[in-house]
Amino acid sequence: MYNGLVRLNVQANEAWSDITVQLKGAMILSQISLTTVKGYATNTKKRLRRGHRARTQALNAHGVKENGSAETNSAKTLKSLFAVAENYPQTAG
């Protein structure tokens, strides 16, 4: 009977050890996911700021040369923003 209790105790300890390993693995994956999302958010934020600056520059442009330069810059920025938007499909609603 004693040996049976010792065996069950060892099995319980092994089970808890397995659970701990799984939880640590889940925490590592969670951290990796958070880091990835943070990177995408930073990149998207930079693109949006560039888009805002390009729009402001285009709205404040005077003269043919300045307008042309502002519109070219604005078009490049919009292409970049559209590429990001295509990678984030939206739900209807």
**Which pLDDT tens digit goes with each residue over 47-87?**
888 888 888 888 888 888 888 888 888 888 888 777 777 77
d(CA 64, CA 85): 31
**Does this model's pTM top 0.85?**
no
Nearest to 88 by CA among 54, 51, 40: 40
Who has greater pLDDT, 20 or 77? Answer: 20
The per-residue pLDDT for 88 is 67
State the CB neighbour count (10 A cutoff) for residue 70.
19
Residue of 78, 24, 71 whose CA lies nearest to 48: 78
